[in-house]
Every structure is written in C-alpha cells, then in structure tokens.
Amino acid sequence: MRRIDGIVTLVASDMDGTLLDGEKQFPPDFARIFSLLQQKKIRFVAASGRSFATLRHNFAQVLGEQAANGMDYICDNGAFLVEGGKVSSISAMDPRVLREMIRCCRQIEDIQLLLCGVHGTYHLPYTPIFAGKAKSYYINHREVEDLEQVEDVIFKVAICDLRGPQNNSFSILAPRFGDMLGIQISGPQWMDVMNPGVDKGQALAQLQRALGVSPQQTMAFGDFCNDIGLLRQAYYSFAMANGHPEVLRAGRYLAGSNVQYGVTQALQAYLLDGMPLPGKNPHFVPKNGATT
C-alpha cells in the first residue's frame, strides 16, 4: 500500500458537509492538526461557497486572527481567490448579463438572491426563513431596495431556493443563461451563478501554479457537486462517505463522513502518522478514461 507523507504539500477542503460537522462546527482536533501540517510545510486551503469575510471569521475563531489572516482561501466556489491572506483573483461578472438575470429571477417563486461583491453581499429584505439559511454563509451582508442599483464588482450570485434549485431555479435559468454564465447547484437549497469556467477546481489549479505544486502533490476533500472540480484537480482526492453520488464517483478514495470528522481523521492517518492509503474507492470513475 502506498504512503504519501512527504509527497503531499497542499491540502484543499470544502467546508459544509465536509470539514464541518452536522452542527457546522470544526472537528475538535482541527487546530492541532492545522499546526502540525504547518510544521511539515503543508499548506491548507479552505475551498467553499462561503465569502472571504465569513471564512476568515470562521477560521479565526478556531485558529486565531494571525493564522486565519495568512491562510489560502478559495471563496465563493472559486470566483474569489486569496493566497497567503491577499486577494489574488476576482472573476467579475458582466453587469449587463447580471441585470438580465436579476430581472429573470423576479419571476421565479420561493427564491432569494444574494449578490456577492468586493465590498459585501447584497440582498433584498429577508424573510425570517431566508435569513436563517443565509446568516452562516454571508456575515458581511447589506440590505438594499433594488439589486440592479448595487454599485460594486459582483463576482457571484448565490440563490437560496426553498423548492430546491434542481426543479425550480436551475431549470429556468440554465436554458436561458447557460451559454453566458456558469450555473452550479451547490447544496440542496443553494445554487451559485458565476462566469463560465469558474469553479473550485479552476481556482485550485491557479493556486497550484502560483505555489509550484502539482496535482500529484495535492490532497482534496469534498461532498457535493460543486466539489467535483476540486477533486479532479487533486490526485489524492477523497469523497466524503456522506457525499452526493456524483462526488463518490469523482474521489479516488473515501473519507469518513463529516460527522465522523473524516477530514481530520484522514489528515492524521495519511499525512501525519504515515499510514498507507486505503484501497481505491469502489465508486471512483476516472475522468475521460485517465489512469487511476
């Protein structure tokens, strides 16, 4: 069985459903493992649909301000990239296409839009049910009367869809805007709209180039469909046991579920303790027939 301690120099992990447990809490041993990874010169990057402000706040609560401020973050599903605490890439949306999409969304029932911009996240007045779903993801949010009048560089539109995007907002927006925008279902009631080609995998590839790290030196963890690009960009890709069926087919290996703290278990075992990798994930399907 293969050992990878000393090979992997970059670890990328999704947050919700992956690193965080069912109560959206970090594993109790995360701070200790993060410190040990740093000692081994292994970088940890958080890859999430959450905003930069939210992610930095989340990690500061666990690691302290200094460590959180110097981290790498793939934010907003790849539309906003932070390297070593400094913004390195923003994929700004075309204002004309954005306005057209906002107008189309007014005709869709049971959804709430959040415009994610450089200076904050903008939304129309929340109903209580939407506020409860959005508050943990976007802490730097601002209420506005008209989304079309927001003056900021917008790089993502997050859509909270109470009916579930697959059979509601996605089925309406994808046929109309699929050639102009990248539309990703990111959770049972969430969908993200960005520029075409933007995803966590593209952002991870950009970070790898900047750091001089190859996919063969990268480990990644994910549970939902917006994590598939991330897993494809890392040779040591782990699908969470609680993952979506499509994600289970994208990861070479399986990690325990998020409520079992599968990410930190795997990091401890394979990067810190030097244990051999487990057998290949029986669900794994190599992309485009590539070697496994």
Q: CA 255, CA 278: separation in Å to the nearest integer?
A: 9
Q: Rounded distance, CA 48 to CA 230, Å?
A: 10
Q: Is the pLDDT of residue 256 over 80?
A: yes
Residue located via tokens 């278990």? 265
Could you confirm whether domain 95-194 is CATH 3.40.50.170? no
Q: Is the pLDDT of residue 19 over 50?
A: yes
Task: Decide whether 10-90+199-289 matches 95-194 in CATH topology.
Answer: no
Class in CATH terms, 10-90+199-289: alpha beta
| pLDDT > 60? residue 248 | yes
Domain ranges in the chain are 10-90+199-289, 95-194
| pLDDT at residue 140, rounded to an integer | 82
Closest CA to 56 of 259, 8, 64: 64
Mean pLDDT of all residues in 271-288: 92
pLDDT at 126: 74
Is residue 182 over pLDDT 90? yes
- pLDDT at site 137: 78
For residue 289, the model assigns a pLDDT of: 47
Q: Is 292 a residue whose pLDDT tops 70?
A: no
A 10 A CB-CB count for 94 gives 13
Q: Which residue has the tokens 């480990």?
A: 219
Q: What is the average pLDDT score of the chain?
A: 93
pLDDT at 291: 45
**Has residue 222 got a pLDDT over 50?**
yes
Under the banding of pLDDT at 50, 70 and 90, the label for residue 131 is low
What confidence tens digit (pLDDT) does each residue in 41-77 have? 999 999 999 999 999 999 999 999 999 999 999 999 9
